[in-house]
Amino acid sequence: MGQSARKFSLGMIAAIVLAAAPALGLAAASATGSAPAGVAPAADNSADVIIGTFTVDGNSTAENPLGGRLVRNIAPPCQDCDITSVTPDLTDVDGNSVNMDTGPMLHHIVLYKQGGTDVTCPNAVLSSTLGMQRLFASGNERTPIPAVPGYALHVGPNEQWAALNDLMNYAPQPITMQVRLHVTWVPGSQLKPVTPVWLDETTCGTSFYNIPAGPSQQTMTWNSTIDGTIIGIGGHLHEYGIDLQTTNVTTNTPLCDSKESQMQMSGGLVMVTAMSRCIGQPPSYIAPLHKGDQIKMTANYDTPAPQSAMGIALIYVDTSAVVSPTPAPSATPTMTPTPTMTPTPTVTPGPGPTPTPVPSLTPAPPSLVHYDFALNGSTSIKAANGTAPLTGAIKAIYNLGTKAFSADLTLNNTTGQFSIFGFLPVTAGIGFKQTGQTTGTLDGGVLTTDSKMYVTFSSFNVFGFFPIGGGADCATSTPITVQLKSTSPFFNPLQGGPIAGTYTLPALNNSCGPLGWLISGFSAGAGNTLGATLTPAA
């Protein structure tokens, strides 16, 4: 645990919970640290959960196509217990911290509870389909979940974890590394449990999005589905991030401004060294949260060149502390001991005389792959005798085991040129509103996709300028179903390729203007075609 590596490790990612010195426990369990004089300085148990070994090729600095290597069936260091702090690290096989100064980068690790229900994405592929709840995440800044007196992440009996590990290597030679989570806990369920709420600029997507050069801002809003009290908030951004702001729009309350610190490395690399976090103080902590509250998250970047970005806030909520409009008295802070670094058994891969099960640490083969494509093509509408160009993007998460994927499809607004009565040229402003995720399979080199969306028509202009209908609410009366299939002999997701299909356009709704019925008559019908080329996104 070299000093230089420790310096880099301070303060990274995710979030929250206690107020202990953040540097505590960065390294192995034998690190020393002094707990504040508590009322009853009982020592927490502690152990390193070791994930991997991973060997990463030299010069592996790209995020795609793997969003990370998924390791399943990880045994938590304890069962039916309260986890009081988690400190992530990236190490060599001897447990020494390693970082970008020698090549290795912990791009991110996401820790899941298998069989849990995710608060913000209960039905997304990353949670429900695979039955997982996001508990914790870290980037290279390695921000610990500090101990917050009285609070814990509870581990149920027989609970198992999974971890998605995205590791990079800027050195020319391959490097073998491990992800280590230094965990402290107390047995049983003596502390109040926190519920993790994961806010992501891509909502339930793959977390990656692209940003242009210069200042940029991405926002998302989550309508809270839970009541409680926000205990702590941490943020995650990539390099050239400025800050990640969360606000309760409903109550007009700023919740957290998580600021990024970064440092310039040799060779022009920039490394995120810290994300500040917000930890509430008793009795009211950060703020109350109520069902229906609009929580807005804004990720600010200023980058010299276009790059891929993330904006994630991990919010820990005490759902038992529901605050009515008047501030309710909350319990006096129980002085739970902050993690003292007693030399409790470190759980290492080898068998040890520890009462807890040795984590099963064999990395499973990666089972989740992220594929991002740009889409370019066109659609022709038979009844209206015309075409419209199409551009968009598909962000897919593919399960190598089931060969199925789910994806976020974005189709940009476009303009179509049609003719009605066989001669009258009509220009239509066309948009697409997805009604859910695109699903499909990639099996034996054949890609099939299934999407449902409303088609909207902002305008219909004869001769390009004379308006005859359309409008903000003008759309198909029911969603269209578009099924596409790859048309090349073998669709390779790393290279992309052509896809095509047909669809039926239903009648328009009643919000398309006085001539809507007429336009509807010239657009509705079967036999419309869609063809496009998928290109892997940079």
Smallest gap from residue 313 Cβ to Cu ion (A): 13
- Report the candidate in 87, 3, 11 with the shortest Cα–Cα distance to residue 47: 87
The residue among 29 and 299 lying less far from Cu ion, judged by its C-beta, is 299
Residues between 73 and 112 with contacts to Cu ion, criterion CB under 5 A: 108
The residue among 44 and 201 lying less far from Cu ion, judged by its C-beta, is 201
Q: What are phi and psi of 3, to 5 degrees?
A: -60, -40
- Report the candidate in 148, 163, 189, 193 with the shortest Cα–Cα distance to residue 15: 148
> What number of chain residues touch Cu ion (CB under 5 A)?
2
The residue among 108 and 395 lying less far from Cu ion, judged by its C-beta, is 108
The residue among 108 and 277 lying less far from Cu ion, judged by its C-beta, is 108
Smallest gap from residue 319 Cβ to Cu ion (A): 27
Smallest gap from residue 153 Cβ to Cu ion (A): 21
The residues, ordered by sequence, that sit 6+ positions from 194 with a Cβ below 8 Å of its Cβ are 17, 148, 151, 152, 153, 231, 232, 316, 317, 318
The residue among 99 and 523 lying less far from Cu ion, judged by its C-beta, is 99
Say whether residue 310 binds Cu ion (CB under 5 A).
yes
Distance between CA atoms of residues 238 and 12, nearest Å? 11
Q: Where on the phi/psi map is residue 527: left (φ > 0), alpha (ψ -120 to 50), or beta?
A: left
The residue among 310 and 314 lying less far from Cu ion, judged by its C-beta, is 310
Residues between 106 and 145 with contacts to Cu ion, criterion CB under 5 A: 108
Smallest gap from residue 493 Cβ to Cu ion (A): 21
SS3 320: coil
The residue among 209 and 285 lying less far from Cu ion, judged by its C-beta, is 209
Smallest gap from residue 484 Cβ to Cu ion (A): 30
The residue among 179 and 455 lying less far from Cu ion, judged by its C-beta, is 179
- Tell me which residue has its CB nearest to Cu ion: 310
Question: DSSP class of residue 118?
Answer: -
- Residue 284: HSE in the Cβ half-sphere, 13 Å Cα cutoff: 10
Site map for Cu ion, 26-45, x if CB under 5 A? --------------------
Distance between CA atoms of residues 462 and 120, nearest Å? 45
Strands (E), 1-131: 45-56, 69-74, 81-91, 104-114
Q: Which tokens sit at 234?
A: 């941490």
Site map for Cu ion, 464-503, x if CB under 5 A? ----------------------------------------
Q: Which tokens sit at 190?
A: 């003596």
Q: Interface with Cu ion by CB under 5 A: which range of 86-94, 252-260, 306-314, 416-424?
A: 306-314
Smallest gap from residue 314 Cβ to Cu ion (A): 12
The three-point CA angle 316-319-323 to 5° equals 110
Q: Interface with Cu ion by CB under 5 A: which range of 84-92, 309-317, 326-334, 338-346?
A: 309-317
- Report the candidate in 108, 152, 142 with the shortest Cα–Cα distance to residue 24: 142
Distance between CA atoms of residues 287 and 255, nearest Å? 7
Binding-site ranges for Cu ion (CB under 5 A): 108, 310
